[in-house]
Chain A
């Protein structure tokens, strides 16, 4: 197994919030200890709902927000050492909102050429022609080159955003909800485009989304985040077939596929709502968990690795380390409840 292309170690990001000049300070742990490994050619899907920290994580991976603690390495080098520009050449974003991710005062070709301009690559003419070339590759013919974003539809704008991300041939593209703001038919086009481009350019994606059906379609690996932490991570097929963490199970159960007659599932989550400023003790998910057991409200479950993937849940504790001591009784509470099929 070669070194992962990009890695995050113990990443945290906290914000100090103060309600007013005299109110007490409170800390928001937007990202609370995340480890990730992204291998070349992967599509790492990151799923979670609002407040889980996925967007903050994306910004840290892009170098836009410095972590409060922990580190991110690219090909083994810490990105803080690497520098802003070298990082930008390797890692590029595609954002969610096609209406705010393009400068309304610039022409399309100029927007796409900006990264080249910033890095001083080529002459203005060369930059423009490269820009037009890549716009064509994403499905926008040259006659759009001098249009402003206001003259394009949402899907077209998102194509421009993708072109801009690819113009410097980065290795990794961080997609933060790239299709969430688009109509279904346009979403399909953009997803097809992303898959094509990945094959053609050998790209690696980090694909953040709350739409599990889309993630299942495009991702090779999925990490599930809740209140700033990764609660489960596995290969896509494994995660969707056998979700282990109760939150993952609830998320999957909430996916409403267009199959009539199946009704609306009961996620079993109850009404308790997590307050990121005041997270529950122990496992952050336990107040909403229908399967909680004794340690859940006091002890934070560690992220445990197994052939099935990683999961942070007391229901799936680490396997006991084989020792010279007599074999444990078969009904030991520490035996793994699930065995690979």
Chain B
């Protein structure tokens, strides 16, 4: 069993809004080990992006983060000073964002942006940084790397920019990589390439990767472990094969039934749906299960605190101990 790189326990994030306090993330726990890909999956508003920002200490001013434990290897992120966090970010913990169009600064060359984290964190000379940049551009599959260094972001396509983002994240040899919807804004064929690249790099470099997405197809193909989030909570977590093969939480199952699979779902037939809408998380802290108004198996007990079940390394938060088939 390899080392735990990221340990999140009881993470909660409250955000102050004009309409009240938004309990965006509620008591979320998960671990990521070396060489493992954990996918956090959920629909819009479930809190997955806020979770990633909370880990990287990139939350807005209006947000307040609390956690029982928030640790990167043996660093306690919850109590670390601003300086310590800055020393870790971009260095041993890296993040890539969704929009390659806007995540790169249009005023600086690719080379400048690539070398910046390396120069800053490793206190290296420009020649070393340049060499490393070329090495990494090659690793992410960009040919004629030396010429690319002098180019500006607008001269590259979306797929190339995302590769540059990945290279940038890897410059200092991070042990944890958080990718927030890294392929969502890209064309379908490019998406497959980028994901393949991430998977290959992870294998080769033994990084712990957290990949956030709403796309269950992506999750199935790239994740070792999956964390399903709904209304700010983790509702199910487990190994990918088991979760997709036999989901335990009604939301997970509902979600899987919504997706058309060529060759499997009946063409032109009705897709599964989940009725209702996500409950509001603003105001008083939500009691009980957030899914109860939309669940076919809801009962009275769902209004109160919902127990956490465990079966091996598969966990789910439900009053039911598994779903009827």
In the complex, the number of residue pairs spanning A and B with C-beta atoms less than 8 Å apart equals 134
- Is the CB–CB distance between B271 and A217 below 8 Å? yes
- Is the CB–CB distance between B255 and A195 below 8 Å? no
Contact string against A for B residues 192-204, beta-carbon threshold 8 Å, 1 for contact and 0 otherwise: 1101100100000
In this complex, how many residues of chain A approach chain B with their Cβ under 8 Å: the count is 43
Q: In the complex, what residues of A have CB within 8 A of residue B259's CB?
A: 184, 188, 213, 257-258
- Is the CB–CB distance between A184 and B216 below 8 Å? yes
Instruction: Provide the bound-state CA to CA distance between A212 and B191, in Å.
Output: 13
- Is the CB–CB distance between B192 and A271 below 8 Å? no
Instruction: Provide the bound-state CA to CA distance between A184 and B216, in Å.
Output: 9
Question: Is A330 at the interface (CB under 8 A from chain B)?
Answer: no
Q: In the complex, what residues of A have CB within 8 A of residue B153's CB?
A: none
Q: In the complex, what residues of A have CB within 8 A of residue B67's CB?
A: none
Q: Within residues 241 to 260 of chain B, which ones have a CB less than 8 A from any CB in chain A? A: 241, 243-245, 254-256, 258-260
Instruction: Provide the bound-state CA to CA distance between A236 and B222, in Å.
Output: 28
Instruction: Provide the bound-state CA to CA distance between A195 and B267, in Å.
Output: 11
Question: Is B218 at the interface (CB under 8 A from chain A)?
Answer: yes
Smallest CB separation, B248 vs chain A (Å): 15
Question: Is A126 at the interface (CB under 8 A from chain B)?
Answer: no
Q: In the complex, what residues of B have CB within 8 A of residue A111's CB?
A: none
In this complex, how many residues of chain B approach chain A with their Cβ under 8 Å: the count is 52
Instruction: Provide the bound-state CA to CA distance between A75 and B223, in Å.
Output: 51
A219 nearest in chain B by CB position: B267
- Is the CB–CB distance between A214 and B260 below 8 Å? yes
Given A183-B44, A188-B273, A271-B141: A256 touches B189 (CB 8 Å cut-off): no
Smallest CB separation, A186 vs chain B (Å): 8
Q: In the complex, what residues of B have CB within 8 A of residue A271's CB?
A: 141-143, 159-160
- Is the CB–CB distance between A185 and B260 below 8 Å? no
Question: Is B263 at the interface (CB under 8 A from chain A)?
Answer: yes
Question: Is A263 at the interface (CB under 8 A from chain B)?
Answer: yes
Q: Within residues 244 to 258 of chain A, which ones have a CB less than 8 A from any CB in chain B? A: 250-251, 253-258
- Is the CB–CB distance between A255 and B188 below 8 Å? yes
Given A184-B214, A188-B258, A240-B262: A261 touches B241 (CB 8 Å cut-off): yes
Smallest CB separation, A202 vs chain B (Å): 15
A185 nearest in chain B by CB position: B274
- Is the CB–CB distance between A191 and B267 below 8 Å? no
Q: In the complex, what residues of A have CB within 8 A of residue B265's CB?
A: 217
Quick one: which of A49, A185, A218, A264 has the most chain B CB within 10 A? A185
Question: Is A242 at the interface (CB under 8 A from chain B)?
Answer: no
Instruction: Provide the bound-state CA to CA distance between A268 and B240, in Å.
Output: 26
- Is the CB–CB distance between B273 and A269 below 8 Å? no
Question: Is B261 at the interface (CB under 8 A from chain A)?
Answer: yes
Question: Is B288 at the interface (CB under 8 A from chain A)?
Answer: no
Smallest CB separation, A91 vs chain B (Å): 23
Question: Is A148 at the interface (CB under 8 A from chain B)?
Answer: no
Question: Is B131 at the interface (CB under 8 A from chain A)?
Answer: no
Question: Is A153 at the interface (CB under 8 A from chain B)?
Answer: yes
Q: Within residues 180 to 196 of chain B, which ones have a CB less than 8 A from any CB in chain A? A: 187-193, 195-196
- Is the CB–CB distance between B255 and A185 below 8 Å? yes
Question: Is A97 at the interface (CB under 8 A from chain B)?
Answer: no
Question: Is B268 at the interface (CB under 8 A from chain A)?
Answer: yes
- Is the CB–CB distance between A188 and B244 below 8 Å? no
Q: In the complex, what residues of A have CB within 8 A of residue B59's CB?
A: none
Question: Is A266 at the interface (CB under 8 A from chain B)?
Answer: yes
- Is the CB–CB distance between B193 and A216 below 8 Å? no
For the complex of A and B, the 8 pairs showing the least CB-CB separation, nearest first, are: A256-B217, A217-B260, A188-B258, A49-B187, A188-B271, A183-B43, A258-B216, A216-B262
A237-B267, A256-B215, A257-B261 given; 7 more Cβ-contact pairs under 8 Å: A185-B255, A189-B273, A195-B268, A210-B188, A251-B189, A261-B241, A271-B159
| 30 A-B residue pairings within 8 Å (CB atoms) | A183-B43, A184-B216, A184-B258, A188-B272, A192-B270, A212-B262, A213-B259, A213-B261, A214-B260, A217-B260, A217-B265, A218-B268, A236-B267, A240-B263, A254-B188, A256-B191, A256-B195, A256-B218, A257-B259, A258-B217, A258-B219, A258-B244, A258-B256, A259-B220, A259-B244, A260-B221, A263-B199, A264-B196, A264-B221, A269-B189
- Which residues does A use to contact B, with CB under 8 Å? 49-50, 153, 183-185, 187-189, 191-192, 195, 210-214, 216-218, 236-237, 240, 250-251, 253-267, 269, 271, 273
